[in-house]
Structure 1
Amino acid sequence: MKKGQALPNTADKKIVTLVAKQKLMIEDHQASNVLKILDSNGKISLSIQITEDGPVLKLGGGALTITTEGNLAIDAESVSIHGRKEMALTTEGNFHIEASGGIHSKAQAQLITADLGDIDIKANDDVKLDGERIRLNC
């Protein structure tokens, strides 16, 4: 079968063979449509499910890299990011965190380090330190 040639289709599934033995599959379901890209082993590399609530994007396989020469923006009602083993946010420039509401940070232990320069803490109201011991200049 040649690249781009469609395989036999059923009423609810269409398959097109792509380069490197990959396949494009479009499935029609009662409540959604699903577009899938399958790798040469038949595993899902990319799945886009079109639902009444909007598209659902799923990526399979190994690592994912998003690269752009310009800006990357994500805008949503709510954003959640979860790393199952570890998470790192890095930049070669300045890093800004800002919230109109509160910021809550919780961990088993926390370390704040300034390799060069001061650490400034400013509050409109009280600054509270609560610990078993408060150690200064140790």
Structure 2
Amino acid sequence: MPEDREAPATALELVGQHRVELRRDPALDTLELIGRDGKVVLAIEVRETGPVLRFEGAGLTLKAAGELVLDAKKLTLRSDEALSLSTGGDLELVAAGDLRSTARVQTITAELGDVRVEANDDVRIDGERVLVNC
């Protein structure tokens, strides 16, 4: 078989007209879960550098009854429309380096209790107008 041609897939039919396909190639092995509409829902690509998970579809939910940990050298969360973090308990943001926050408008609200700003050095407030108790 010529090297530029993809090897034939090994397929396994699943319940609900879904199927799993395995494609073997010298540089890449791919295991795909294909939905009844023929679109790839989940793909696991196994390369020399390691596996890559690819989820495709309208939505994805990861649910754990216990702890869920994402551990990486670098982590990026990106969203085209909105990003929301929420918890029924406390939220702590900790950075060993600098923390930067940039937005068109920023609002800090304490629904119950104080807002505290502490600094080891100076606290600088720079604005066109600094309004206090307005």
**TM-score, shorter chain, exceeding 0.5:** yes
- 1:33-48 alignment runs, 5 A limit: 33-48=29-44
Does residue 105 of structure 2 align to residue 92 of structure 1?
no
Runs of 4+ in 1 over 3 A off after TM superposition: none
Structure 1 residue 29: Cα displacement? 2.2
Q: Indicate which of 91, 108, 113 corresponds to 1:112.
A: 108
Residue of structure 2 equivalent to 1:72: 68
Q: Indicate which of 55, 61, 66 corresponds to 2:51.
A: 55
Structure 1 residue 30: Cα displacement? 2.8
Q: Please, what TM-score do these two structures have when normalized by structure 2?
A: 0.92
Structure 2 unaligned regions, length at least 5: 1-5
Q: Indicate which of 97, 110, 119 corresponds to 1:101.
A: 97
Residue of structure 2 equivalent to 1:27: 23
Contact 2:28 2:47 in 1 (8 A): yes
Residue of structure 2 equivalent to 1:132: 128
Query: Identity over aligned residues, as a percent?
Result: 36
Q: What letter matches 2:47 in structure 1?
A: T
Q: What letter matches 2:67 in structure 1?
A: N
Distance in 2 (alpha carbons) for counterparts of 1:22 and 1:50: 21
Contact 1:12 1:29 in 2 (8 A): no
Distance in 2 (alpha carbons) for counterparts of 1:98 and 1:84: 25
Q: What letter matches 1:21 in structure 2?
A: Q
Secondary structure class of the residue paired with 1:64: coil
Distance in 2 (alpha carbons) for counterparts of 1:51 and 1:107: 39
Secondary structure class of the residue paired with 2:42: strand
Secondary structure class of the residue paired with 1:35: strand
